[in-house]
Amino acid sequence: MLKFYFYGFLPIFFVGIFSFVGKRKHLLSTLLSVEFIFLSLFFFMFALLAFSLFDLFFLMYFLGVSVCEGALGLSVLVSMIRSHGSDYFSSFNIIQC
């Protein structure tokens, strides 16, 4: 049964990696793909810990880290849109800061 979850996890994880690497023009699409990767890792760790009969308290730490990462990414997105007008990476120039 754990192999079923593992083989179900791999395509979801690699789709998230592919979208992270492939769509680098917008900051919002990269943030969404990172959250997709975190979500697939969460489901895999849940299945792994549940079938191993370990305590699931570690997943709360993992969710806390992923929520903090999402909030930090959204704050960077909002500040970038306010300062440059869009979320294109091509319009973002470090020299202008």
Tens of pLDDT, residue by residue over 37-77, are: 999 999 888 888 888 888 888 889 999 999 999 999 889 88
Is residue 96 scored above 60 in pLDDT? no
Q: Which domain holds residue 50?
A: 2-96
- pLDDT number for residue 4: 72
Query: For residue 88, what is the DSSP state?
Result: B
Tokens of 24: 């680098």
Which CATH number goes with the domain that contains 26?
1.10.287.3510
- pLDDT number for residue 72: 92
Please write the tens of the pLDDT for every residue from 19-34: 888 877 888 888 889 9
Kindly report the pTM of this predicted structure.
0.79
User: How many whole angstroms separate alpha carbon 97 and alpha carbon 83?
Assistant: 10
**CB–CB of 45/62 below 8 Å?**
yes
**CB–CB of 72/65 below 8 Å?**
no
Please count the structural domains in the chain.
Answer: 1
Backbone angles phi, psi at 43, to 5 degrees: -65, -40
